Structure 1
Amino acid sequence: MYTIKPSPGKGLGVFATQAIERNDKIVHEPALLSQTNAEELEKGSRFKCLIDKFDQLDDNKKAQYLSLSHRVVGFDKETYDVLRYFINTTQPRIADDDYQKTFQELTRMLDVFNTNCAAMVKSNRLEGFGIFPIYSRINHSCIPNARWQYNYTVNEMEVHAVRDIADNEEITITYFPYDRSLSTFQDREWDCLLRGFQCDCEACADPDPDLRDGRRERMCELMGFFEDYNLGAFINEVELNPPFGTPEPIRLALELVKLLETEGLFGDSLAYACDLLCDFYCVLDQWDEWEKFAIKSNLNSPNPLSEIAIASTKDSETAGFNNEATGIAEGSST
């Protein structure tokens, strides 16, 4: 389904070797090396834990780890002192030349980890970080055609297509949280430079970025509005403006969906916007519209349901809504 080969101006990249359909699983791989927050706490520092984990790898896996691209991140004084302490305690009579070589090897190992590690999240809680060699070869785009997530059920990194991908097309993900992915060209350019690369994706190479920036600024504005709006809906004492179940929130959510699709941003953000519309249409008892956006949300979800499951959800939502509206408890008889 994919191959790793040179990507112009980016080193190596991952490319499709066949047509890939939206939501297809492209990559699934266990961690080459991983460490949890609990393991770091037990060892006293991330670095000490990383050294032990790295030493447990066989020679082939160590070579695979060190072959990954990395940037020189630099260290704070605490990490520098830990490095020196580790060398002095494990190799107290080391020669000056060997000391420098060992120091460089350890800093390289840490740089590879800091450059390539991926978050391992379970139930919205960060559990640790891991190194996944294939995932690490996937380059960034501000309009990615794939998404990544760590699947704790099988302990694997998974990469899924968020849209159809053509044969020989490069597979890309975003390196940023969704709120930064929606930011303007100048902000994204700065984020990329901080990570040691320059993005040349369609959005960043646009000769006239003002139109895109205008769309993205509006998307950020709408996302911020709905985050506050949903919080207000959760806290019943807050008076919502505009009121829940009125046309205005629907208009704004429809605008957000259109902006995301125009910008080519499929996946989590679009699923979120469609879920908003499902909530609004549910309150208004507009089940045809609910189903339309439930299907669209499902297409952009990392864990899509079958059409039968969506129809079943619609039936249960409709029944629950009608029971609430008539005051008849579900399962009761007249």
Structure 2
Amino acid sequence: MDTSSMVSDFGKMNVRDQKNHPLDHPPADTTDTTTSNTASSNTSFTESIDRDVAPGAGASTTSKSKSVSAYKQPGIAANSVESHSPGADMSDSESGSPTKPTSSPLKATAAEFKPSPHQPQSGAFDSFTSSHNPSSPPKLFEIGPSGRGGTGVFAAQNIPLGTRIICDSPLLTIPSNQLYLVWGPYCRLGNAEKRQFDALYFWENTDLHLEQASRMCLLDYTDDAIESDDEEELIAEHVRVMGIFAVNNFEMPKGALGLFPNGARLNHSCVPNVHHSYNPTLNKLTVHAVRDIFQGEELVMNYMGQHSHFWTHTKRWEYLRSRYGFTCQCEACSDTTGTNDSRREMLQALVWGLEEFHKGQPDEGHFLIPSTGPDALAQAEQVITLLIQQGLFAMELTRAYRLASSLALDLGYHQKALEYASNEAEVEKNIFGTELDDLKKHGTASEVWIKNMFVILKDKQYTPYTRLAEKIYNITGVKHEVLADSSDHKSSGRGKKGGKNSKRTSPKKISPKKKEPRPQEEEKDAV
């Protein structure tokens, strides 16, 4: 690939031709099921840690109707990444990190997350704390008219980062990506469920050829009992049902698609304040706050998937218009300064350089491809910074933290590696909750990564600071042995009388007794 035509200059990093960029259409996400317990590995930035029931199954970190077909389900490409370990192992104090080894790694904090100025606010939080309740608290959201068009979902109260807002069961499902299959489940719905379905947004995507699909799959042309007027009415109704399902469904495991009544009400933003994913442990769609949300704010998600974070607003508009029939006017798309597009282009370029470095054959002549491990870590930290600046706090941020953690571990920056891993675990819990059984099963959960790191660091005779070990334990439940040692030391340090207000006395001096010879009988007995 000729990368010289991709970037005009180092300062602006304007991507000229995104269609030829390797990250424009990334490969389908895969699940890493071979996490090593004995050696570190560089995790590719685009390597998936999506919530799949099985490797290769439909991604359950769902994109709302990412690709639907009136006839058949498209194939899902699988992709795996080879591990690469650059750099020699060095201690924290000798690492020569591009940032200070003892500095706190980049972390998204609630103070940096501010609601869009045009959104209504009704007071601020007294304190920002994460909540991971397994069931939605009452009155967290309400549905009403949206300034974005149609209806939307709004925060009924101040919602802290990490709160599970929606836990939705499917209204109906189809086993594969063939839209004509939705007719049977729709006809079997009760009257109340049909009213829920019928109230959802309808748009007929001409590329799906819904009417042709309906005529081929629904009608029996040998049945003379159907009048022509009835036939047209039946076709129109079938097209309407397929059209509603096409723009409101979510991907589920194993290629299935489902429509979730509350989740379908969420509107789109290129800077979402909630993250949605299908939770196979609960068999429900869950929606979590990725930042603190104020009462009255509209809850918005990303319809397009993580790859859209590298696109300019014109490309995002093209995608949304062709699949959903609207033009996004979120804060990212409404930015007239060009800053948002520049940062996203920068993200695309930096991640491309890290991917090339990850292949193990870096091109030292290209400035975007790091030539050393410390340079790669510094570039990964730039990616984290840009994601935080863009307000992108979900899957893409966990991947960036994992990459930075892996690079730091390979370089011997042990404390930094653990801190980045703890940041990943915190974001992971914020967007998924505590039910991470599927991620643990396939070895992609941050908890698995941290356990592997503890094994590696034990071999290197490195012990983390107690405070850092406590932080990791509080987030993931993974307990390092340093905490057990600390607990034992605290419990045995003082007796019953040894308190803060105890009277301290000097020990009484005892004169040594004169040693007397033992009788001969005692010596024999002793022998």
Do they fold alike, i.e. is TM over 0.5? Answer: yes
Change (3 A) 1:90 1:282: farther
AA partner of residue 184 (structure 1): T
Q: Residue 99 of structure 1: which of 216, 221, 231 is its match?
A: 231
TM (norm. structure 1) is 0.82
SS at match of 1:115: helix
- Pairing 1:291–2:427 present: no
The size of the alignment, in residue pairs, is 306
AA partner of residue 386 (structure 2): L
The separation in 2 between residues aligned to 1:133 and 1:187, in whole angstroms, is: 29
Contact 1:281 1:287 in 2 (8 A): yes
Match of 2:199 in 1: 67
Aligned residues: CA RMSD: 2.9
Match of 1:332 in 2: none
The separation in 1 between residues aligned to 2:407 and 2:189, in whole angstroms, is: 52
AA partner of residue 259 (structure 2): I
Q: How far did residue 296 of structure 1 move?
A: 2.2
Q: How far did residue 159 of structure 1 move?
A: 0.8
Please list every run of 5 or more consecutive structure 1 residues that lacks an aligned counterpart in the other structure: 41-45, 233-237, 327-334
Change (3 A) 1:159 1:227: farther
More helix per residue: 1
Change (3 A) 1:55 1:228: farther
Q: Residue 339 of structure 2: which of 195, 211, 214 is its match?
A: 211
The separation in 2 between residues aligned to 1:295 and 1:250, in whole angstroms, is: 17
SS at match of 2:173: strand
Q: How far did residue 279 of structure 1 move?
A: 0.4
Match of 1:160 in 2: 288
Note the alpha carbon deviations across 1:90-135, whole angstroms, 9 max, x for none: 96422332222211111101101111111113xxxx4210011111
Q: How far did residue 289 of structure 1 move?
A: 1.3
Match of 2:270 in 1: 142
AA partner of residue 261 (structure 1): I
- Structure number with greater CO (CA < 8 Å, separation at least 6) is 2
SS at match of 1:274: helix
Mapping 1:1-334, distance limit 5 Å: 1-37=140-176, 46-74=178-206, 80=212, 82-83=214-215, 86-88=218-220, 92-121=224-253, 126-194=254-322, 195-208=324-337, 210-230=338-358, 232=359, 238-240=360-362, 246-301=373-428, 302-303=431-432, 317-323=453-459
Change (3 A) 1:90 1:257: farther
AA partner of residue 200 (structure 1): Q
Q: How far did residue 295 of structure 1 move?
A: 2.7
Match of 1:43 in 2: none
The separation in 2 between residues aligned to 1:81 and 1:190, in whole angstroms, is: 25
Greater Rg, structure 1 or structure 2?
2
The separation in 2 between residues aligned to 1:94 and 1:16, in whole angstroms, is: 49
SS at match of 2:218: helix
TM (norm. structure 2) is 0.53
Contact 1:245 1:283 in 2 (8 A): no
Note the alpha carbon deviations across 1:111-162, whole angstroms, 9 max, x for none: 01111111113xxxx4210011111110100110111111122211111111
The separation in 2 between residues aligned to 1:187 and 1:312, in whole angstroms, is: 37
Query: Is 295-304 or 7-16 further displaced after alignment?
Result: 295-304
AA partner of residue 456 (structure 2): G
More strand per residue: 1
The separation in 1 between residues aligned to 2:217 and 2:299, in whole angstroms, is: 42
